[in-house]
C-alpha cells in the first residue's frame, strides 16, 4: 500500500532512463532480443539498456513490462466503484493497534483478484476502486462480497458511457514534444502500432465489440502477457510466448499496448488528482464535445471518461491529471476549467494507493 501526495519521494529517472521510458511505455520491441533493438536505437550496448531498465524495475519506477489488453474485446467489462469507509487517525500507523475499518477494507480488496485499482481520495466518497468481470452480475457479486466483509457502504457502480482517452504513457519531456524520438518499425510492434503510439487522445467509444471466441492458445498467451516479462535478455522465448502472436493481438486491437507500466509517483509525477466536472444536458454536451476532445489531448491527462452522475455527486465527466508539483497541478486544473467554460467541478486528490495491479485474464 503506497502513500501518495505531493510530498512523495521522487526517484526521477535521468538521461538514458528517460530516453528508454519515452520508448518502452507504449512500444517495447516485440522481437527476440528487445534490449538489443533498444540499444541499436540509442547507440549504447545491450547490457547498458538491460541494466538501466532493471534498475528502474527494482527502484519501483517500472511496475511491470507486459501487455495492456482491451477488456471488452476479450469478453469482460470494467466498472469504477465509489463508496465510503470510515477513516481513523490510526489508519496504516506503524505502531501496534486494532485493525481499523479502512485497514480491513484494504486487506479484503487486496485479496480480490477482480479488483485491480483501489484508492483513497479526498472526498466524502473516499474509496474508489475498479472491478473487472464477465458481466454486471459478476461485478455486483464482488461488490456485495466486499461490503459484507468490511465497512464499505453507499457504493455506486459506474459505467463509462463515453471514453475520450485511455493513455497512461507519461513523459517528463512531454511538453517539449516527442519529435526526434526513436521509433520502432511495424514488424517490431505490430501493424497497428504507429496508430497506437500516443494515439488514444481521440474519443474512444464504449461500443468496442467482443472479437469472438478465443482459442485456448489465445487465452494462454493473453494470460501470460498480462504478467511481467522475465528479467532476461530473451524474455519472450523464456516466457514461451510468440512475438508474432503478440503482434497479432495489436492487429486485432485486443491489446492496447505492450510496454512498461509505471508508478507515476516514482517516475516524477507525485501529484495526482481525479477532477470531475458537471456538464450540461445531452444537447449541450453534443455542442461541447470539441472542448472535451481538446481537454483529453492535454499531456497531463491520462484518462478522460463520461460516467453517470449520482445522488450527492452531480459530476459526469472524469479526468485523471498528473503533475510534478502542487503548483503545476493547480495550473492544470485551472486551465481545464477555463477550457470547459467554468463548469461546476470537484477535485479528488489521490491520498493513498491501496492497490494497483493488472488484471490476469483467463486465470
What pLDDT shows up at residue 288? 65
Residue 215 has pLDDT above 80, yes or no: yes
Same domain, yes or no: 168 and 185: yes
Which backbone phi and psi does 232 adopt, to 5 degrees?
A: -135, 170
Together in a domain, 151 and 168: no
Please enumerate in sequence order all residues whose Cβ is within 8 A of that of 185, keeping only pairs 6 or more positions apart, or say none: none
Query: Residue 193 phi/psi, 5° resolution?
Result: -60, -45
**Is the pLDDT at 47 greater than 80, yes or no?**
yes
**Residue range 259-271: average pLDDT?**
81
Residue 123 · residue 140 · CB < 8 Å: no
Tell whether the model's pLDDT for residue 181 goes beyond 50.
no
Grid cell for residue 286: 453534443
Residues 141, 167: one domain?
no
> Of 101, 125, 160, which marks where a domain is finished?
160
What is the arithmetic mean of pLDDT over 161-169? 82
Of 119, 145, 160, the last residue of a domain is 160
Task: Compare 263 and 302 and report the one with higher pLDDT.
Answer: 302
Which has the higher per-residue pLDDT, 199 or 47?
Answer: 47
Which of 25-34, 97-106, 258-267, 309-318 bottoms out in mean pLDDT, i.e. has the lowest? 258-267
Residue showing cell 489508519: 91
Q: From 111, 134, 160, give the residue that closes a domain.
A: 160
Q: What is the pLDDT of residues 311-338, one digit of tens each?
A: 999 999 999 999 999 999 999 999 999 9
Model confidence at 196, in pLDDT bands (50, 70, 90)? very low
The CB density around residue 212, as the number of other CB atoms within 10 Å, is 8
Same-domain status, 281 and 156: no
CA-nearest of 3, 4, 161, 157 to 83 is 157
Show the domain range for 106.
73-160
Whether residues 44 and 79 fall in one domain = no
108 and 232: one domain? no
pLDDT of residue 285: 56
Let me know: does 96 contact 86? Beta carbons within 8 Å.
no
Phi, psi of 315 (to 5 degrees): -105, 140
What tens digit of pLDDT does each residue of 117-130 get? Answer: 999 999 999 999 99
2 or 64, which is more confident: 64
In angstroms, the CA 236 to CA 160 distance is: 34
Which CATH number belongs to the domain containing residue 111 in this structure?
3.30.70.920
pLDDT in tens, 293-312: 999 999 999 999 999 999 99
What's the domain count of the chain? 2
Q: What is the pLDDT of residue 269?
A: 82
Residue 92 sits in the same domain as residue 127: yes
Amino acid at each position: 500500500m503506497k502513500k501518495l501526495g505531493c510530498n512523495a519521494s521522487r526517484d526521477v529517472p535521468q538521461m538514458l532512463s528517460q530516453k528508454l521510458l519515452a520508448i518502452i511505455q507504449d512500444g517495447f520491441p516485440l522481437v527476440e532480443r528487445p534490449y538489443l533493438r533498444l540499444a541499436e536505437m540509442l547507440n549504447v550496448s545491450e547490457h547498458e539498456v538491460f541494466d538501466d531498465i532493471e534498475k528502474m524495475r527494482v527502484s519501483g519506477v517500472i511496475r511491470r513490462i507486459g501487455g495492456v489488453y482491451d477488456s471488452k474485446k476479450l469478453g469482460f467489462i470494467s466498472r469504477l466503484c465509489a463508496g465510503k469507509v470510515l477513516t481513523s487517525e490510526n489508519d496504516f500507523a506503524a505502531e501496534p493497534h486494532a485493525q481499523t475499518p479502512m485497514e480491513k477494507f484494504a486487506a479484503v480488496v487486496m485479496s480480490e483478484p477482480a479488483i485491480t485499482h483501489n484508492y483513497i481520495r479526498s472526498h466524502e466518497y473516499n474509496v474508489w476502486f475498479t472491478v473487472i468481470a464477465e458481466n454486471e452480475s459478476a461485478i455486483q457479486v464482488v461488490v456485495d462480497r466486499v461490503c459484507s466483509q468490511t465497512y464499505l457502504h453507499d457504493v455506486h457502480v459506474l459505467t463509462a458511457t463515453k471514453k475520450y482517452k485511455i493513455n497512461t504513457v507519461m513523459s517528463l519531456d512531454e511538453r517539449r514534444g516527442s519529435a526526434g524520438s526513436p521509433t520502432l518499425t511495424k514488424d517490431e510492434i505490430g501493424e497497428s502500432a504507429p496508430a497506437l503510439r500516443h494515439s488514444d487522445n481521440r474519443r474512444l467509444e464504449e461500443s468496442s465489440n467482443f472479437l469472438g471466441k478465443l482459442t485456448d492458445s489465445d487465452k494462454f498467451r493473453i494470460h501470460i502477457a498480462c504478467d511481467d516479462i522475465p528479467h532476461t535478455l530473451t524474455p519472450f522465448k523464456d516466457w514461451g510466448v510468440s512475438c508474432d502472436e503478440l503482434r497479432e493481438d495489436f492487429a486485432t486491437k485486443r491489446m492496447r499496448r505492450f510496454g512498461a507500466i509505471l508508478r507515476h509517483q516514482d517516475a516524477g509525477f507525485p501529484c495526482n488528482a481525479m477532477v470531475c466536472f458537471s456538464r450540461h444536458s445531452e444537447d449541450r454536451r453534443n455542442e461541447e464535445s470539441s472542448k472535451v476532445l481538446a481537454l483529453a489531448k492535454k499531456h497531463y491527462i491520462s484518462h478522460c471518461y463520461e460516467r453517470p452522475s449520482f445522488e450527492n455527486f452531480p459530476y459526469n465527466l472524469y479526468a485523471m491529471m498528473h503533475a510534478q508539483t502542487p503548483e503545476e497541478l493547480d495550473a492544470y486544473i485551472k486551465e481545464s476549467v477555463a477550457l470547459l467554460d467554468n463548469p461546476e467541478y470537484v477535485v479528488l486528490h489521490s491520498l493513498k494507493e491501496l492497490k494497483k495491479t493488472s488484471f490476469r485474464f483467463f486465470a
